[in-house]
Amino acid sequence: DAGVTQSPTHLIKTRGQQVTLRCSPKSGHDTVSWYQQALGQGPQFIFQYYEEEERQRGNFPDRFSGHQFPNYSSELNVNALLLGDSALYLCASSPNIQGWQETQYFGPGTRLLVL
């Protein structure tokens, strides 16, 4: 089992550009959540996808959007990049099982640098 995978591992963009980050969940998991972790801070919840729809959203602007595919993989898109979008972007997956009592599984992250 490959666990949660993310691509790319690192990315450098300039202000105003757009970026797409990708995540494949752990086998058997159908729910994908995205987090942004700025340097020296804790991760912040961006949004969560289940059944190809956005189920929950954190306090992030509409520049942040996402998508989930039928195979449960997911993309995070950020438009009109700002310097403040520089961060580690983490994807986490979990199964949508009633009574699930384990943690989400986090991927290795994509480090985005906006110049």
Partner 1 sequence: ELKVEQNPLFLSMQEGKNYTIYCNYSTTSDRLYWYRQDPGKSLESLFVLLSNGAVKQEGRLMASLDTKARLSTLHITAAVHDLSATYFCAVDRHNTDKLIFGTGTRLQVFP
List of residues contacting partner 1 (CB under 8 A): 31, 33, 35, 41-45, 48, 55-56, 58, 90, 92, 94, 101-109, 111
State the Rg of the chain over Cα.
14
Least CB distance from residue 112 to partner 1, whole Å?
14
Q: Specify the residue for token string 């986090």.
A: 106
Helix (H) or strand (E) holding 50: strand 44-50
For partner 1, which is the closer residue by CB, 19 or 25?
Answer: 25
Least CB distance from residue 67 to partner 1, whole Å?
18
Q: Specify the residue for token string 């942004």.
A: 36
- CA–CA separation, 17 and 45 (whole Å): 22
Q: What is the DSSP letter of 10?
A: E
Least CB distance from residue 18 to partner 1, whole Å?
24
Most distant CA atoms of the chain, gap in Å: 44
For partner 1, which is the closer residue by CB, 92 or 112?
Answer: 92
For partner 1, which is the closer residue by CB, 67 or 111?
Answer: 111
For partner 1, which is the closer residue by CB, 44 or 73?
Answer: 44
